[in-house]
């Protein structure tokens, strides 16, 4: 039976290419995002490229209940969780509202915390699993125009660094890819980032790291 790769916030760039990378290695992808039509299209592409049938789940990462429900349904089977959801809109603090700040933080970091919290017990119980998160250079070099995203990506980095030692004791690997440049599809960046995620998954237990960089 194929191992399950769960992608939350699957988009046509990093999310899809990472799902494709794992599907080529024999994983069954579970794609979760808001846009049902786009999910269908990505599932077809995965089938055409790899022969693997992807499971799709319409999910809004702004809704913790939907994330929890997805984890309740599939958590015991997920071998690899990839949290890729993010709100990629500029938002200066002066122009933001309390609601817009909360909305972006929910998707960018709270959703990741909810997903990781839900899947951890299952991975720990079977002493197997990998949690991958899409990071950003904004974590190191914050942007005034993308302040919320910068803070959230710093949170993603903290999440991996803080949980890494404890989870590693239970043979669970948590790590992020720090994407330090603008992602250019025309240059093959999403595919190359997907390779970095795959290499993290493939790391020998004694050489595990909690972060790798791209760009």
The whole-number pLDDT of residue 1 equals 75
Convert the pLDDT of each residue in 180-206 to its tens digit: 998 999 999 999 999 999 999 999 999
The whole-number pLDDT of residue 171 equals 98
Instruction: Read off the tokens for 183.
Output: 């992602």
This prediction has a pTM of: 0.96
Smallest CA-to-CA distance from 32 within 3, 62, 1 is with: 62
Which CATH topology does 4-214 take? Rossmann fold (3.40.50)
Q: How many CB atoms lie within 10 A of CB 48?
A: 8
The whole-number pLDDT of residue 193 equals 98
Task: Give one DSSP letter per residue of 175-192, joined into a string.
Answer: EEEEE-S---GGGTHHHH
State the alpha helices, DSSP H only, in 97-136: 98-105, 111-126
For the chain, the C-alpha Rg in angstroms (whole number) is 16
Q: What are the E-state strand segments in the chain?
A: 4-8, 28-33, 55-58, 78-83, 129-136, 172-179, 211-214
Task: Give the pLDDT means over successive 10-residue stretches in the chain (215 positions).
Answer: 94 97 98 97 97 96 96 96 94 90 95 97 97 97 94 97 98 97 92 98 97 96
């Amino acid at each position: 039976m194929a191992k399950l790769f769960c992608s939350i916030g699957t988009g046509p760039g990093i999310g899809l290419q990472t799902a494709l990378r794992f599907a080529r290695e024999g994983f069954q992808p579970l794609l979760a995002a808001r846009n049902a039509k786009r999910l269908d299209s990505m599932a077809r592409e995965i089938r055409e490229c790899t022969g693997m049938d992807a499971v799709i789940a319409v999910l809004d990462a702004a809704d913790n209940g939907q994330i929890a429900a997805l984890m309740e349904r599939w958590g015991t089977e997920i071998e690899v969780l990839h949290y890729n959801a993010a709100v990629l809109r500029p938002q200066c603090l002066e122009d933001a509202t309390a609601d817009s700040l909360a909305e972006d933080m929910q998707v960018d970091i709270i959703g990741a915390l909810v997903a990781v919290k839900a899947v951890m017990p299952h991975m720990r119980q079977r002493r197997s699993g990998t949690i991958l998160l899409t990071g950003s250079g904004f974590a190191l070099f914050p942007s005034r125009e993308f302040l919320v995203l910068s803070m959230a990506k710093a949170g993603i980095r903290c999440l991996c660094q803080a949980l890494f030692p404890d989870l590693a004791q239970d043979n669970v690997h948590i790590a992020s890819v720090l994407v330090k440049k603008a992602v250019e599809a025309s240059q093959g960046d999403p595919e190359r980032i997907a390779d970095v995620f795959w290499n993290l998954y493939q790391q020998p237990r004694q050489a595990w790291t909690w972060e790798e960089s791209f760009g």
